[in-house]
Amino acid sequence: MGASEELAYLKSLVNQLNEKIASLESKKPAPSPVQQLRTILVGPPGAGKGTQAPNIREKYCVCHLATGDMLRDQVDKQTPLGIAAKKIMDAGGLVSDDIMVNMIKDQLENNKDCKNGFVLDGFPRTVPQAQKLDGMLADRKEKLDSVVQLLIDDQLLISRITGRLVHPASGRSYHKIFNPPKKAGVDDITGDPLIQRSDDNAETLTRRLKTYHTQTGPVVDYYKAKGLWHGVDASQSPKLVWDSIRGIFAASTSSRK
């Protein structure tokens, strides 16, 4: 066989292989319930939800439903839900459980990123909300896999957050003790002054943590009674926290097999 014939033969083999790969990929089954993930991430301000929720979204190809962000988005877009919610908030009231559940339901039905499951962040905040969420999932013939709570001592959390310094233009963050800038008070790259956010103070944080514990306690007890609750030590490094969360998901999804 001449060189040109051998080359043509090899090219035909490559084409056949590519066609076979494309055929197999097109027949790849949709994720089964065992491969899906439906979880709730619970934690006080500054415990690391903002770090771990995106990790969960990327690793498991699920949607991250942060209800505070979703509510603001609905209001900005002036959807029927958003208009109803804005009226309540403008009057100083709390958005109803039904509005919150319908907002999540809308995402699960219409957001293609939710087809493999979800991580809920900021909801449910009360036992009635948890019960309504159960009802909505039951209507969809779905169940929660797990509820993961990031646990950290209040005083440690306050020392973490009150030491935060931020470069406003880029969002780069530092910490006076754990990750100080090279030169006190200024950004390493631009030399601009660093600021401390107005709500990163002990008084505000103590108040927010008290509200969090009051609200979260009954919800955590509700999920503990159902055997869905898992606690993770959030004082560890983000990598160790992530390893713990992945272990919980592996155990909870394998139990459905």
Residues 6+ apart with CB under 8 A from 85: 71, 74, 75, 95, 99
Q: Is 241 annotated as a binding residue?
A: no
Residue 38 bears catalytic tag = no
Q: Is 123 annotated as a binding residue?
A: yes
Helix (H) and strand (E) counts for the chain? 9, 7
Residue 38 labeled ligand binder:
no
CB of 43 closer than 8 Å to CB of 49: yes
The verdict on whether residue 49 carries a ligand-binding annotation is: yes
The answer to whether 105 is a known catalytic residue is: no
Q: Is 125 a known ligand-binding residue? A: yes
Q: 54: Cβ–Cβ under 8 A, 6 or more apart, which residues? A: 64
Q: Is 41 annotated as a binding-site member? A: no
Mapped onto helix, strand or coil, the DSSP state of residue 60 is: helix
Active-site annotation holds for 140: no
Q: Look up 172 and say whether it is catalytic.
A: no
27 is catalytic: no
- Residue 249, annotated as binding a ligand: no
Say whether 51 counts as a known binding-site residue.
Answer: yes
Which position among 57, 176, 208, 246 bears the catalytic label? Answer: 208
Catalytic residue among 197, 207, 226, 256: 197
Sequence-distant (6+) residues with CB within 8 A of 107 are 63, 65, 70, 114, 118
Which candidate, 118, 94, 93, places its Cα nearest to that of 108? 118
Residues flagged as binding site: 46-51, 67, 72, 93-95, 122-125, 129, 164, 173-174, 197, 208, 236
Active site residues: 49, 125, 164, 197, 208
Residues flagged as binding site for AMP: 67, 72, 93-95, 122-125, 129, 197, 208
Residues flagged as binding site for ATP: 46-51, 164, 173-174, 236
